[in-house]
Amino acid sequence: MAEKKQRWALEGTRVIDLTWLLAGPGGTRILATLGAEVIRVECRDARAVDFLRYTPPFPRKDPGAPVQDLGMLAGTPANGFNRSGNFNNINPGKFGITLNLNHPKGRDLLRRLVAKAHVLCENFSPERMDQWRVGYDALRRVNPALIYVQTTGMGKAGVYRDYAGYGPTAQALSGLTAMSGLPEPRQPAGWGYSYLDHSPGYYSSMMIIAALMRQRRTGQGCYIDLSQTEIGILLSGAATLKYQLDGQPTGRHGNRMPFAPWAPHGAFPCRGDDEWIAIAVQDDPQWAALAAEIGSWALDDRFAQASGRKANEEEIERRLAGWTAQHDSYDLTARLQARGVPAGPAQKSADRFTRDPQLKARDYFVTLPHSELGEWPLDGFPARMSASPACVGGRANRGAPILGEDNERIYRDILGIGASELRALMEEGAV
């Protein structure tokens, strides 16, 4: 039987991708997954290569090899540019070329590529592209319908335009760090990863696709100055509204539910080292089901109704923790779920990868080839689309490109640059 032809949601879309780290490349990953031709444009110079290209984790020689130190200091160009698993996970499905924007011919090549593309994405510091004279105002002369996306910590327009920001900077400023953790006087727990480096990808991709539809309809381009901190503010729920109405500062609530009479509501210890189960009781029948499983103290009338559970939340949490600690988190999840109680283990990476039956059944992890690393499983895409399936390997049908992997094909097919001209450009340092 002939293989069914892949149909892409973003058929016919070309994206010039100058992004690095995660805040920019996360978005172009999504575009590649949906079928855009994403051309990752990188500089060969070790000082300008995406830091993630040479930062661990690297594949272990064999599964028995010692676990690596993943400290930031382990990121050095001496590691090579094509061995990072994290980079592979962030950049699958993209084509890769090299181009030097510090070289006049490199900038010329970029202008020629942009003339034949629909979208350009970058996340340099706010003024960098203008300094190279390839900012939005320069490039729209080359391509008036261009969709130009610039992702920065604060946003380019505004009084913090010169401020620097990583994901955690944006989390702190936006309010997301302050909202996470146990109540004062405990300090915030914040986030154990860069949530606001993931989030820009969702917004850049959705805005780019909306802009593509408008571009097709009107011929009009778009400039998108995307701010990681603003995304954090958007994700702060109703906190700012409440403050405007009652003037009370936004607090932290640990794992408790401040917005509904749900109790108990938290993570409770289980058998083993640092194993936990999350339990969220939303109503009296769920509590009755949980209490029947526990017996003894849980059958106390004081706890039968939500108001009583809220009033005695600390006592319930303490007793519940004593009970859960005797059990395995997965066994307990099965028992509680059988009674209709929302519960689930706090899964660590190893649990999700090796144990989670749901991710397995839905083929969440996608194994793709990488030209230097071989085949590796990558994070999948959480939406199944019936007519234009998302496909993490994209048009390239592989993991991340090695540095300059597609130079020959891209420069030839898009710009008509032959092998000898390409060689000369490389010798000059333009490519």
Partner 1 sequence: MSARISPLTDALDGYVVLETGDERGEFAGLLLAGLGAEVIRVEPPDGAPSRRLGPFAGDVPDPEQSLHFWRYNLNKKGLRLNLGNPEGHRVFARLAARADVILDSGEAGAVERRRALHRSGRDLNPRLIVCTITPFGMSGPWRDLKATDLTQLAMGGIMAVCGYDRGADGKYDTPPIAPAPWHSYHLGSEYAAVSITAALNFRELTGEGQEIDVSIHEAVNTCTEHAMPSYIYAGSVVRRQTARHAASSISPPWLRPSADGVYVNAILAPTEREFRAFVRLLDECDIAHDFNAEAFADASKRGRREAQNAIYAALDRLVASMPAEEVFRRSQALGLAWAPVRRPEENLGDPHFQRRGSFAAIGHPELGRELLYPASVATDGENPHFGYGRRAPHLGEHTDEVLARAGFSADEIATLHAADVV
- Residues 90-129 contacting partner 1, CB under 8 A: none
Identify which of residues 294 and 321 has a Cβ nearer to partner 1 in the complex: 321
Query: Does residue 330 belong to the site contacting partner 1 (CB under 8 A)?
Result: no
Residues 371-390 that bind partner 1 (CB under 8 A): 376-377, 379-388, 390
The upper half-sphere exposure of residue 50, i.e. CA atoms within 13 Å in the direction of its Cβ, equals 33
Q: Are strands 265-270 and 222-227 parallel, antiparallel or unpaired?
A: unpaired
Looking at residues 169 to 188 of the shown chain, list those that interact with partner 1 (rule: CB under 8 A): 169-182, 186-188
CB closer to partner 1 out of 219 and 295: 219
Per-position b or e across 133-169, b if 16+ CB within 10 A of its CB: ebbbeebbebbebbbbbbbbbbbbeeebeebebbbbb
Tell which one of 44, 111, 138, 254 touches partner 1 (CB under 8 A): 254
Residues 218-237 that bind partner 1 (CB under 8 A): 219-227, 230-231, 233-237
Q: Which is nearer to partner 1, 211 or 425 (CB)?
A: 211
Binding of partner 1 at residue 269 (CB under 8 A)?
yes
Residue 264, preceding bond cis, omega within 30 degrees? yes
Within 16-55, the residues that bind partner 1 by CB under 8 A are 22, 30, 34
Q: Which of 24, 25, 135, 153 binds partner 1 (CB under 8 A)?
A: 153
- Residue burial 192-206, b: 16+ Cβ < 10 Å; e: rest: eebbbbbbbbebbbe
How many Å apart are CA 167 and CA 419, to the nearest integer? 41
In this chain, which stretch among 70-78, 92-100, 297-305, 417-425 interacts with partner 1, using CB under 8 A? Answer: 70-78
Residue 280 in the binding site for partner 1 (CB under 8 A): yes
User: What is the rounded distance in angstroms from the CA atom of residue 201 to the CA atom of residue 370?
Assistant: 23
Please, which residue, 382 or 416, has the CB nearer to partner 1?
382
Span 287-326, contacts to partner 1 by CB under 8 A:
none
Residue 20 or 268 with smaller CB distance to partner 1: 268
- Of 104-112, 270-278, 301-309, 404-412: span binding partner 1 (CB under 8 A): 270-278
Q: How far apart are CA 113 and CA 110, in angstroms?
A: 5
b (16+ CB within 10 A) / e for 36-59: bbbbbbbbeeeeebbebbbbbbbb
